[in-house]
Amino acid sequence: MDEALEARLVAGRGLEKNANQGGKRQVTLIEQEVWDQLAEQLGSNLDPSMRRANLLVAGVRLRDCRQRVLQIGDCRLRMWGEVKPCRRMEEAYPGLQGALYPDWKGG
C-alpha cells in the first residue's frame, strides 16, 4: 500500500494502478470516525493505512449504504456493499479483524 494525496479513477475499472482494477471491489472506503473509535477501543493510536482501504472519508456514514451513490470530486461511486476484514487486519494489529467485522466497520 502506497499513500497518495490524489488518484485517478477509471470508469468501470476503479483506481488506476490498483490491484483490484475491474474486480468486485474497485474502490474501498473506511470512515475516519469509525477508525478513531476502533483505535480508542483497541487502546492504540492505529494508523488508518493499516486498514488497507483506498479512501479515508470523514462525515460520510457508510453503514447500510448499499446501492447508494457517493460523489467525491467529479467521481461518483456506487456502493455495492460492506467489505469484511480479512486476516491481514489481524496480522497488522491483534484484535483489529474482530473489531472491524460488525456493523460495516470494515468499510
pLDDT digits (tens, 9 = 90+) for 42-88: 998 989 988 988 889 999 999 888 999 999 888 899 998 888 888 99
Spatial contact of 97 and 72, defined as CB atoms under 8 Å apart: no
**H/E element, 64:** none
Query: In this structure, what C-alpha cell is assigned to residue 78?
Result: 456506487
- Whether the pLDDT of residue 36 is over 90: the answer is yes
| Nearest partner of 82 among 98, 100, 97, judged by Cα | 100
Looking at residue 1, its pLDDT comes to 66
Contact 40, 32 (CB under 8 A): no
Q: What is the mean pLDDT of the chain?
A: 88
Residue 41: how many CA atoms within 13 Å on its side-chain side? 15
Which whole number is the average pLDDT over 35-47? 92
The pLDDT assigned to 10 comes to 87
